[in-house]
Amino acid sequence: RKAVPDAKKVKASRRKKLATFRTEQKMDEAALRQSIANIGYTMTNVVEKQV
Segment holding 29, helix H or strand E:
helix 29-38
Is residue 51 a part of any domain in this protein?
no
State the pLDDT at residue 16: 93
Q: Is residue 35 part of a domain?
A: yes
Q: Does the residue 48 lie in any domain?
A: no
Quick one: pLDDT at residue 15?
A: 94
Per-residue pLDDT of the chain (51 residues; tens, 9 = 90+): 676 777 888 888 989 988 888 888 888 889 888 988 988 888 898 888 877
Based on C-alpha coordinates, what's the Rg of the chain? 11
Q: Is 33 contained in some domain?
A: yes
Residues 3/35, Cβ–Cβ less than 8 Å: yes
Distance of CA 16 to the CA centre of its chain: 15
Domain range for residue 39?
Answer: 1-43
pLDDT of residue 1: 61
Is residue 12 within 8 A of residue 41, CB to CB? The reply is no
pTM higher than 0.95 for the full model?
no
Residue 30 domain flag:
yes
Instruction: Supply φ then ψ for residue 6, to 5 degrees.
Output: -80, -5
